[in-house]
Chain A
């Protein structure tokens, strides 16, 4: 079992819809959870981080964490074509606080 798992997609949503991206992780000791966005040919950039169970909102983005289910998700409301990118889930604390483990990413396509 991979330490951090994501559906590779592509996930296609129409413009204005809600995009829901999901991630599961295997290490119950994981402490911090991150969502990075990576445009094609570019480097990853942080969208959100979350440490505690529940929801965390930032603009159109909401991160949700459920440690009991070892599940973290990212919701993007009012999706825009500019949101089309690969979204990487990252976890640290899995195997050591300094180690950051990434999922393989979910490709999101927002259709105008």
Chain B
């Protein structure tokens, strides 16, 4: 089954404790992206990657890091989480060369930083 898999789905952590949210897709998509979704603010892009070793900042990259060492994986790293990073996070991928630009989303990871 074609899918984007995120882990963990739910996480409660404390300020300053490094964490990684993993994202993996099995569709051989070049493009992958991370979004956070907050009430009243909608989906905001954090980082995106056009291919292996090619990443770029989205609209709200502060406090986050990413890496793209393999085509299928695009982890989101919070080096020192703060309460304002409490949010619902979505990973998405796309077969950009298809021309449709359709994004396939993971199920989301709800993060709470205390």
Contact = CB atoms under 8 A, between A and B. Distances in A.
How big is chain A's contact interface, by range? 20 to 34
Contact of A101 (B59, B96, B106): B59
Interface in A42-95: 42-46, 49, 88, 90, 92
A22 interface: no
B108 interface: yes
Interface in A1-19: 8
Given A43-B90, A101-B59, A49 B102 contact: yes
A105 B103 contact: no
Interface residues of B, number: 24
A43 B105 contact: yes
Given A43-B90, A43-B106, A43-B107, A102 B101 contact: no
A100 B101 contact: yes
Main secondary structure of the interface of A (DSSP, over half): strand
B48 A44 contact: no
Interface of B: 31, 33, 35, 40-45, 48, 50, 56, 58-59, 90, 96, 100-103, 105-108
19 contacts: A8-B40, A32-B101, A34-B102, A36-B103, A42-B108, A43-B90, A44-B105, A46-B102, A46-B103, A49-B100, A49-B102, A98-B50, A99-B48, A99-B58, A100-B45, A100-B101, A100-B103, A101-B59, A105-B42
